[in-house]
Amino acid sequence: MKNLRRKTLAAASAATLGVGLALTGGLAPAAAAGPDTSYLVLAPQGANTSQAAARVAAAKGTVVATYDQIGVLVVRSTNPDFATQVAGAGVESVASTAGLGTALDEGETVEVSAADVASATGDPTKEPLYGQQWDMNMIHVPQAHAVTTGSANVVVGVLDSGISSTHPDLATQIAKDKSTSCIGGVTDTTEAAWNPTTSDHGTHVAGTIAAAINGVGVTGIAPGVKVAAVKVVDDGGFIYPEAAVCGFLWAADHGMQLTNNSYYIDPWELNCRNDARQRPVWQAVQRAIRYSQSKGVLNVASAGNSNYDLAHKVTDTGSPDNVPPAEQENRVDLTSACLDLPAEAPGVVTVSAVGPTGAKSYYSSYGQGVVDVTAPGGDSRIRTQGASPTSADQILSTTFNTTTRTNGWGYKQGTSMSGPHATGVAALALSAHPGMTPGQLASFLERTSVAQSCPEGVFNLVPLHPNGAHFYDATCSGGARNGFYGAGIVDAYNVVK
């Protein structure tokens, strides 16, 4: 997930406009071609897309993906006037997604050396590196595994940057027949397409959920379930709305009961439904999420790494993240129409992060009525009050070095790591209690969580952080269910006993 106060990972292209002028006494020349631009074209809710497709063709666009289930087309066009010309009967809204790619908050990976892996001794799960997985003890995974490690009938869609299919802790865990790339909003089921290319984020997430118990490396929370790679992060590190829409629908139509979403959509921290450019994105994503829920999918999303109170939105000071900091806007007077997607979409389970002491991670976003549960995400600064990082207090999981193209294990932290903990626990719950609807599963996950009380006053355990003594100040509100922790820390044993 994004941190508002960080450098952008890449820059997305911006659309330019050009118009052909009519010449007196002759035919107007063809309009100058613009850049090849991607669009979301939405038909009216409940209508098929045939009329919209006809308007796309008339406006010199090409349909590259049709999602009749939700009335959405993914279109490409070099016509600079496409958005204007496609409007009319059969089209409810249209938006270019150029520049709307969101940089994945990749986070630094601290790799475990081959020598350390070789010398590791194992622990309750017989996995060599288990002794470094403090997070598993926090949520009582060993006790849960004495009951069940999960059912292979449960498939979790990991909407992320791909999963390494050759990783020794994951090779047996991936549902290859259900994996795909959704880059560009178009599916590609070849194995190379859904493997990681420039990011190991999805591989790390997948390991937390389902790394195998095989005497190698680490254990996942639910090693008996399967994960499917649904690649939505492109090689530039961006998640475009059309890829997310594709991902939700692919998971829904391919028998997945859960998806993990450790990202947000749109280069702004918040997507504002009252903004003409952003509204079609909200509409398309919301339709996709609703459709997935109707097909029995519970979607889990990370709250974000901005230490931002999502219940009291006032400003957005570091967006969009696809331009240099000097070009970012300071949006003020935000309203409840501005939401973090997919975390704040109705029906999505939103997860904040805690460190090894159970206190809110210094970076984790929060919000009363927004955060549903919390889970281990790591906090590398808690031991030194922020002065310096300690990698062992982050989350250890599977990695893939995109430079050397080798598999391994390493540490990351973020709500990107807490989300898959909640997803893994939900997978165990569904394995132990099959047949629950998404709503029932979400409620069960909350009821079985261990409540955490709000700290008093202004909370900040990292006053010595290089960003400043008050940079990570936060205030918790609520009682047994509150803005920092929601219903509490998810518990693997509680959902299976």
CATH number for 42: 3.30.70
Q: What is the mean pLDDT of residues 390-398?
A: 97
Q: What is the mean pLDDT of residues 199-214?
A: 97
pLDDT band at residue 14, thresholds of 50, 70 and 90? very low
Q: What is the mean pLDDT of residues 388-400?
A: 97
Question: Within 13 Å and on the Cβ side, how many CA atoms surround 83?
Answer: 19
Annotated active-site residue in 364, 391, 416, 449: 416
pLDDT over 50 (residue 25): no
Give yes or no: residues 76 and 140 share one domain. Answer: no
Q: Which tokens in the block code for residue 461?
A: 């355990």
pLDDT band at residue 232, thresholds of 50, 70 and 90? very high
Residue 225 forms part of a structural domain: yes
Burial track 183-200 (b if 16+ CB lie within 10 A, e otherwise): bbbebeeeeebbbbbbbb
Question: Under the phi-then-psi rule, with left for phi > 0, alpha for psi from -120 to 50, and beta for the rest, what region is 376?
Answer: beta
Q: Residue 392: phi, psi to the nearest 5?
A: -65, -15
Asked whether 60 and 37 are in contact (CB, 8 A), the reply is: no
Range of the domain at 45: 37-97
Asked whether 231 and 143 are in contact (CB, 8 A), the reply is: no
Q: What is the mean pLDDT of residues 48-55?
A: 96
pLDDT over 70 (residue 204): yes
pLDDT at 266: 54
**Crossing angle, helix 415-432 and helix 201-210, to 10 degrees?**
30
Domain count, the chain: 2
Burial track 120-138 (b if 16+ CB lie within 10 A, e otherwise): beebbbebbbbebbbbbbb
Residue 201 designated active-site: yes
Annotated active-site residue in 140, 145, 201, 254: 201
Give yes or no: residues 415 and 483 share one domain. Answer: yes
- CATH, residue 424: 3.40.50.200
DSSP strand pairing (93-96 vs 37-42):
antiparallel
Name 458's bridge partners. 475
pLDDT band at residue 100, thresholds of 50, 70 and 90? low
pLDDT over 70 (residue 5): no
Give yes or no: residues 85 and 137 share one domain. Answer: no
Give yes or no: residues 79 and 180 share one domain. Answer: no
Q: What is the mean pLDDT of residues 461-476?
A: 97
Asked whether 379 and 355 are in contact (CB, 8 A), the reply is: yes
pLDDT over 50 (residue 136): yes
pLDDT band at residue 109, thresholds of 50, 70 and 90? confident
Least confident of 91-100, 130-139, 157-166, 169-178: 91-100
Q: What is the mean pLDDT of residues 8-20?
A: 24
pLDDT over 80 (residue 330): no
pLDDT over 50 (residue 1): no
Give yes or no: residues 76 and 118 share one domain. Answer: no
Q: What is the pTM of this model?
A: 0.88
CA distance linking residue 385 with residue 376, whole number of Å: 18
Residue 4 forms part of a structural domain: no
Q: Which tokens in the block code for residue 361?
A: 């991670």
pLDDT over 70 (residue 377): yes
How far does Cα 31 stand from its chain's mean position? 39
Residue with tokens 């008093």: 456
Residue 487 forms part of a structural domain: yes
Residue 135 forms part of a structural domain: yes
pLDDT band at residue 200, thresholds of 50, 70 and 90? very high
pLDDT over 50 (residue 7): no
Annotated active-site residue in 105, 160, 340, 379: 160
pLDDT band at residue 272, thresholds of 50, 70 and 90? confident
Residue 7 forms part of a structural domain: no
CA distance linking residue 188 with residue 194, whole number of Å: 8
pLDDT band at residue 46, thresholds of 50, 70 and 90? confident
Residue 16 forms part of a structural domain: no
pLDDT digits (tens, 9 = 90+) for 344-357: 999 999 999 999 99
How far does Cα 404 stand from its chain's mean position? 26
Residue 401 forms part of a structural domain: yes
pLDDT band at residue 129, thresholds of 50, 70 and 90? very high
pLDDT at 277: 73
Give yes or no: residues 119 and 58 share one domain. Answer: no
Give yes or no: residues 146 and 80 share one domain. Answer: no
CA distance linking residue 427 with residue 425, whole number of Å: 5
CA distance linking residue 10 with residue 400, whole number of Å: 21
Residue 23 forms part of a structural domain: no
pLDDT over 70 (residue 115): no
User: In sequence order, which residues have a C-beta less than 8 Å from that of residue 424 and are 6 or more positions away?
Assistant: 156, 208, 209, 210, 220, 221, 222, 492
Give yes or no: residues 293 and 425 share one domain. Answer: yes
Query: Considering the chain, what is the average pLDDT of its residues?
Result: 87
Give yes or no: residues 397 and 435 share one domain. Answer: yes
Least confident of 38-47, 270-279, 389-398, 484-493: 270-279
